Each structure stands twice: as C-alpha cells, then as structure tokens.
Amino acid sequence: MKNKITVIVPATSANCGPGYDSLGLACDLYNDFTFEISERTGFALEVIGEGEDRLYASGRNLAFLAFFKVWNEVQGTRIGLKVTMQNRIPLSRGLGSSSTAIVAGLVAANLLTGATLSKEQLLNYATEIEGHPDNVAPALLGGITISYMDEQGAHSLRFLPQKELRFIAVVPEQPLSTHKARQAIPQQIPHHDAVFNASRTALYVGALMSGNYQYLSAALEDRLHQPYRMPLIIGTEAVFEAAKASGAYGAIISGAGSTLMAYADPEKDCTKIAAAMIDAFKKHGQNSTAHILKLDFAGAREK
C-alpha cells in the first residue's frame, strides 16, 4: 500500500445565481494536497500560498478531519499524517476553498485504502462535514451539478453544458464568512419570489443543456439570497452592471461571496469584462483581482 498521494481539487461556484444550495460548478483553478502517512502518530501541516498564516495542523482542520473519516472506517490503524497544501483558491471568498480540503481528504484516504468507496458515498461524507452538497459535489465530480437531499442523504446529477463558457471571477479584498452571509437571508420569502427562482433555475439548466445561451441573462437572476447579500459586498450592483455592459451574459455572487462571477461567451473579450468589473469595485473603494476560468470536467483526482 502506498503511503503518499497528491490530489488536486478544483475551485467551485455554488448557487450559480438562482440555484440556492442546489446548483454548483467546478472551475479550472486548483488546490493541491499531498497526504503522507507514517507509523509515528501526530499531525504536520505545510501550507504554500493562500492561508499559510491561518491554517494549522489539528483534528479540526478539514483536510485532516475528512481524511480520518474514511481512514478510520476502512483501515482503522493509528497513523501519523503530514499534509502539504498548495493553495491557489482564495479563502472566505465564495470559491469553495473549504470544500477542496474536505474532498481532498476523502479522496486521498479512499485511494490509499484501496478505493473501496463509491463517489456517492464520498459525496455523502463530504455533505455530512460541509452541511450541504452544492460546493462539495462539483469539487468531487467536476462539471455542473444539481444536488438535492432526501432521507438517504445527498445526491447529485452532473452534466456538461452544450457549448463552452468563460467564468470571470473577480475577488475583492473584503472576505465574507459563510455564516454571516447565511444570517443575512430571511427565514421566509414571498411566494412570488419562490416562483421567480423556480423559473430561473429551470431556465439556467435548460439554457446550458440546449446551448441557447441568450437566456442566461434572465437565468442568472435571483431573489432568494443575492438581494440580501448585496449590502454585505460593497459595490455589487455596480460590478454586475459593468459586467453586462462589457459583454457578459450576466453576473452573480459566487457561493456566499464575496467573489462576483460573470458568465461570458469565449468569443467575447473576457479581459475587458474583468477590467470593467475591477474598475467598478475600485470606484467603491475595493481592490480586487480577476481570474478568467473555464469549466473543470474531471473534479478531484490524483495528480
């Protein structure tokens, strides 16, 4: 049995506008995780890049917690573990950084113990740790995922869009905790807002699967979470307007934020769209950086 493995996991964007806690997609921005087991017990962590001054080795660290969830069930022996992370995905910005750690730990432990667990089992472990499947599903499976929960656990339908897209992720300096972003959402919403979101979520999936991307402008609209989170991210409305004015189909809050993500045709000048979004943030006192991304098809995998 091998005692060392490296797993790469893609960034994710959950909600995708109207698909609150149900839609998610994987992007070609990655964190790398190397897990090395030893007979000497104890934890060690090396972090390169994002979070190098914030992340520590402990049983509460998501990469360690997820790894041992599988290891203890399948193998059961006491071991030591060193994790080396090369983090490129910003923390607390709505691009699934925590999900990469969870999925990496589960996938690495599964591969090191003989790959006895199915992806559906790994998805349920990941959902148990994360609390909901909308980020962990695309991190694990790649592509675009529609996730739901029932008495048996979490389930995800993965699909690929009919045509290519580009995703312009503009990341402001301002972080936003998922807890704070969730607190901003009311417990109840008007019936007409629920109908609005049901139509937009269906339109989102239909537009992508059919290739009729002219519907994306409407499909990215939302009334469940974005109106309540916009005040938490200074300049959101201006950035959205700048993205559309520069040629994007539209823009959304990625996950819980604070990253804002535009959807665009690959034939459009995505650099121009990114610059316009950055400039709009700048006018509201926010510095930001942009990533022009493609869809990741494969999800978490051994490197």
pLDDT of residue 286: 93
The span from the CA of 294 to the CA of 26, in Å, is 9
> In this structure, what token pair is assigned to residue 39?
């007979």
In this prediction, residue 40 has a pLDDT band, given cuts at 50, 70 and 90, of: confident
Please state whether the predicted TM-score (pTM) of the whole model is above 0.85.
yes
pLDDT of residue 198: 98
Tokens 């499947």 correspond to what residue? 133
Average pLDDT, the chain: 95
Over residues 207-258, the pLDDT tens digits come to: 999 999 999 999 999 999 999 999 999 999 999 999 999 999 999 999 999 9
pLDDT at residue 282 tops 90: yes
For residues 111-139, give the mean pLDDT. Answer: 96
pLDDT of residue 85: 97
DSSP conformation letters of 77-102:
---EEEEEEEE-SPTTSSS-HHHHHH
- Domain residue spans in the chain? 4-159+297-302, 166-293
> In this structure, what token pair is assigned to residue 197?
């979101």
In this prediction, residue 1 has a pLDDT band, given cuts at 50, 70 and 90, of: confident
C-alpha distances out from residue 118 to 125, 128, 140, 191, 271, Å: 11, 16, 11, 39, 40
For residues 61-84, give the mean pLDDT. Answer: 94
Could you say which of 3.10.129.10, 3.30.70.890, 3.40.720.10, 3.40.50.2300 is the CATH number of the domain covering 166-293? 3.30.70.890
Which of helix, strand or coil describes residue 179?
A: helix
pLDDT at residue 298 tops 90: yes
pLDDT of residue 58: 81
Assigned architecture for domain 4-159+297-302: 2-Layer Sandwich (3.30)
pLDDT of residue 60: 85
Diameter of the chain measured on Cα atoms: 59
> In this structure, what token pair is assigned to residue 157?
């339908």
